[in-house]
Amino acid sequence: MRLPRAARLTKSVEFRRVRREGRSWPGRHVTLAVLFDAETGMSRIGIITTRQIGGAVVRNRVRRRLRDIVRLTRQRLKVGCWIVLLAKRSAASVTSDRLRDDWEQLAQRAGIWRRVA
């Protein structure tokens, strides 16, 4: 299963806006950038993997792993925030569990989890 297109950031303008107007939190394997109240509606997510991580195969593998981690926790996200995950070089050599732990820690620090009543 994949993230619906409506739940993804797709345009470079959107990525730039999140990086320029939002806040960011560095983690061990990813950097999380969040723009709160970007628009009403569902949260939207974008993933950046640069050439510093490795070749296309490595970048795509990291992107797939991050996308799956976000997809599994998407229902816990607050509504109306735009999220950009920037993978670091170390993301290519760690397990999915470590990536998930890093993502959950950053999401907690950023305050993007919904409050459970």
Q: The domain spanning residue 16 has which CATH number? A: 3.30.230.10
Report yes or no on whether pTM surpasses 0.85.
Answer: yes
For residues 19 and 34, the answer to whether their CB atoms sit within 8 Å is: no
**What per-residue confidence (pLDDT) applies to 115?**
76
Instruction: Dump the DSSP string for 41-86.
Output: SS-EEEEE--TTS-SHHHHHHHHHHHHHHHHHHGGGBPTT-EEEEE
**What per-residue confidence (pLDDT) applies to 105?**
95
Alpha carbon of 110 to those of 16, 47, 69: distances in Å? 19, 17, 17
Q: Which pLDDT tens digit goes with each residue over 50-73?
A: 999 999 999 999 999 999 999 999
For residues 44 and 83, the answer to whether their CB atoms sit within 8 Å is: yes
Q: Which pLDDT tens digit goes with each residue over 70-102?
A: 999 988 998 889 999 999 999 999 999 999 999
In this prediction, residue 21 has a pLDDT band, given cuts at 50, 70 and 90, of very high
* Residue 112 DSSP class: -
How many percent of the chain have pLDDT more than 90?
73
Q: Which structural domain, as residue segments, surrounds residue 106? A: 5-110
Query: How many domains would you assign to the chain?
Result: 1
48 in a domain, yes or no? yes
Q: Which two tokens stand for residue 56?
A: 């296309």
Least confident span in 13-17, 39-43, 60-64, 76-80 = 39-43
40 in a domain, yes or no? yes
Q: How do 82-87 and 44-48 pair as beta strands? A: parallel
